[in-house]
Structure 1
Amino acid sequence: MSPAGRDEEGRHDVGSPIAHGGNLSHARALFPKAPEPWIDLSTGISPYSYPYSPIPGNAFARLPEPVLAEELKVIAAQAYGAPSAVHVAAGPGTQILLPIIASLTSKRGRAVVLSPTYAEHARAARLAGLDVTETDDLSRLAEADLAVIVNPNNPTGRIVPKSDLRALAAKMRAKGGLLVVDEAFHDVSEAESVANAVEEGGLVVLKSFGKFYGMAGLRLGFALAHPDLVGLLEDRLGPWAVSGPALHVASEALADEAWRQAMRVRLASDATRLDSLLAAAGISVFGGTSLFRLIRDAKADALFHHLGERGILTRRFEERPEDLRIGLPGPNDWTRMEAAMASI
């Protein structure tokens, strides 16, 4: 098995995690002469972390209080538009929820993933024992027992209309299947959420906390679904699924609507600034969100290496060499990024 988690025929090994952004150790090995510190633009995580209040010392010393977990579910339901707290399951990141959700489908048959997209959805479905098809044809998802759509999509930014999502959820519900809509980047999108439709059943909406709030290391995510499905998820997760520090930070952040609105404006402005840098170098943007831009260009691999040699890591895709995803530089990173782009 190769380090990339592929077998001899180039297929992803079901049990091996798929390569993602954020691996600075690999970047240092690939570009040993690059200047430090590295600027990591490979993940699509906001460069602005939420300014939370000091975490109480007992948040580390004690097991998380159940009442605090229930309070977080109330706040999350309000922030994300779920019908109520009983429609919310919280866990240590949406990543851990993927194979659990896939294993809960009433029919252990076929999963269809709208692709290209975040590759862990397909891997999680295989781990759950489903046969997986990846397609760019939305109509084919109706054939599935488990249908998966990332909306807005990572990395293309593609948006599937809410009406189409609800129609597909109805088809899944009618045959005992399940539609998973991953709204990890919805906070920075014009896409309509389907969170308010989960009571109807046949639908799970995933929400990632760390990307928009710039705190991926906190490991927190939510699944919004019918209460019966939420109960099954929470049984699988067990007690204390969310850490005490995460409960403290997220309860403040999700209740802070003013910060959320201001941050959307700031991220959109930064994304426009990144577009201008790329355009000045003769590189057009193919898609993305205001947390990342996707380039689809024959020069993508050359740009990856050009930036990497200057200590700036971006996200390339082994299976799509003309694609390159670039996240937003932080406030102190623009000077280096601008110099690197100007030297192309």
Structure 2
Amino acid sequence: MRHHGDAEVRGAGADLTDLAVNVRAGTPPAWLTARIAASLGTLAAYPDGRAARRAVAARHGLPEECVLLTAGAAEAFVLLARALRATAPAVVHPQFTEPEAALRDAGHTVRRVLLDADDGFRLDPGAVPDAADLVVVGNPTNPTSVLHPAGTLESLAREGRTLVVDEAFMDAVPDERETLAPLVTTLPGRVAVLRSLTKTWGLAGLRVGYVLSDPDTVAALGAHQPLWPVSTPALVAAEACCAPDALAEAARAARQYAADRAHLLARLREFAGVGLRVVEPAEAPFLLVRHPRATALRLRLREAGFALRRGDTFPGLGPEWLRLAVRDRVTTDALAAALAAAGGLARDTPGGA
């Protein structure tokens, strides 16, 4: 469960086109790098997160006490697993594996709710056990690229339950439709929305994200953080990415993702007759595809210079699944040419990978 897309490209060299990691290409932008670099002269002082917290709160129209800054969304999963006294946690799969890994590391027994590929991995609230007092779901979901309706997720909120929605890719959705961020203090029970600055802004190495929730939940999670958990450069980045100009840039990037994804979908559909299937509708900056010889196809594409994410490490998926990031049209067309050149491996033949 601790295999992630970066393992596909680690140490691979510059000649490999990265379709395995879901980070926007060409990031971080120069203006953001300059802001971060300018903060290095203040490193002698301890980090002060107040300005970043105010910026995040203003960005979402919430009080400051509803914001917890974290060292990436991954830290938030650990805090949730340790701070909340859940007795019957449930994780909706396939999705990012760190929430379940963090819960298991904290000693929890986790119930998996497996969504069905034949139903497009859509969430049926009735599949979530009534007894679940902690429910974790991604929206849009990694790796399926499914965007669940906000109303569906709202129906999971109830007294005595904590609903955790991983919205790490929500800023890549035009208008951030279906987000629960504005509702974290109004829905029944506890609701926690997790956000990351990694994907749109290319800050995986900086480790910065945040939790939006009610003040009591934020305080409970914060009590499990060490002192000064988020570095000064990361705090500067969080504040900068919440500024109006940055939000406008993110909105443009989301629209570009949608256009580039449509082109990628169109090119991949050309291979439907030879066994390649794409999960649709897709709303995230990546796609989940299925092929009967996916492992061999992934290795052949790697030889051709493209790194794709294997899917079998996600609960509910098997070796016939692959995830690939949305990139520009030139990259997509080059990928399509490599798929065509894969020849027999792109044919719907029986047998494993």
Give the TM interval when normalised to the shorter protein: 0.7 to 0.9
1:62 is aligned to 2:55:
no
Backbone CA RMSD of aligned residues: 2.5
Aligned to 1:241: 229
Aligned to 1:96: 75
Using the size of structure 1 for normalisation, the TM-score is 0.82
Looking at structure 2, the residues matched to 188 and 211 of structure 1 have their Cα atoms a distance apart, in angstroms, of: 8
Deviation (angstroms), 1:235: 2.2
> Unaligned 5+ residue runs, structure 1?
1-16, 29-34
Looking at structure 2, the residues matched to 331 and 215 of structure 1 have their Cα atoms a distance apart, in angstroms, of: 24
Aligned to 1:197: 183
1:86 is aligned to 2:65:
yes
Q: What letter is aligned with 1:184? A: A
Correspondence list, 1:220-235, <5 A: 220-235=208-223
The answer to whether the 8 A contact 2:9-2:307 is kept is no
The one-character-per-residue Cα deviations of 1:142-192 (angstroms, maximum 9, x if unpaired) are 3212111111111112333222322322x2xx22x3111111111123641
Looking at structure 1, the residues matched to 145 and 213 of structure 2 have their Cα atoms a distance apart, in angstroms, of: 24
Q: Which runs of 4+ in 1 moved over 6 A?
A: none
Check 1:273–1:215 CA distance in 2 against 1; reply closer, same or farther (3 A cut).
Answer: farther
Deviation (angstroms), 1:284: 3.7
Q: What letter is aligned with 1:90? A: L
Looking at structure 1, the residues matched to 224 and 230 of structure 2 have their Cα atoms a distance apart, in angstroms, of: 13
Q: Tell me the SS of whatever aligns to 1:187.
A: helix
The answer to whether the 8 A contact 1:64-1:242 is kept is no
Aligned to 1:142: 130
Deviation (angstroms), 1:222: 0.6
Q: What letter is aligned with 1:314? A: L
Q: Tell me the SS of whatever aligns to 1:160.
A: coil
The answer to whether the 8 A contact 2:168-2:195 is kept is yes
Looking at structure 1, the residues matched to 300 and 47 of structure 2 have their Cα atoms a distance apart, in angstroms, of: 49
Looking at structure 2, the residues matched to 209 and 36 of structure 1 have their Cα atoms a distance apart, in angstroms, of: 24
Match of 1:75 among 36, 51, 55: 55
Deviation (angstroms), 1:324: 0.7
Looking at structure 1, the residues matched to 284 and 147 of structure 2 have their Cα atoms a distance apart, in angstroms, of: 14
Looking at structure 1, the residues matched to 88 and 202 of structure 2 have their Cα atoms a distance apart, in angstroms, of: 35
> Unaligned 5+ residue runs, structure 2?
116-123, 343-353
Identity of aligned residues (%): 29
Match of 1:159 among 147, 161, 166: 147
1:305 is aligned to 2:299:
yes
Using the size of structure 2 for normalisation, the TM-score is 0.81
Q: What letter is aligned with 1:205? A: V
Looking at structure 1, the residues matched to 10 and 251 of structure 2 have their Cα atoms a distance apart, in angstroms, of: 36
Check 1:121–1:71 CA distance in 2 against 1; reply closer, same or farther (3 A cut).
Answer: same
Looking at structure 1, the residues matched to 284 and 191 of structure 2 have their Cα atoms a distance apart, in angstroms, of: 26
1:43 is aligned to 2:24:
no
Aligned to 1:122: 100
Correspondence list, 1:207-218, <5 A: 207-218=195-206
The answer to whether the 8 A contact 2:287-2:323 is kept is yes
Looking at structure 1, the residues matched to 10 and 231 of structure 2 have their Cα atoms a distance apart, in angstroms, of: 29
Deviation (angstroms), 1:62: 2.2
Looking at structure 1, the residues matched to 193 and 14 of structure 2 have their Cα atoms a distance apart, in angstroms, of: 39
Q: Tell me the SS of whatever aligns to 1:130.
A: coil
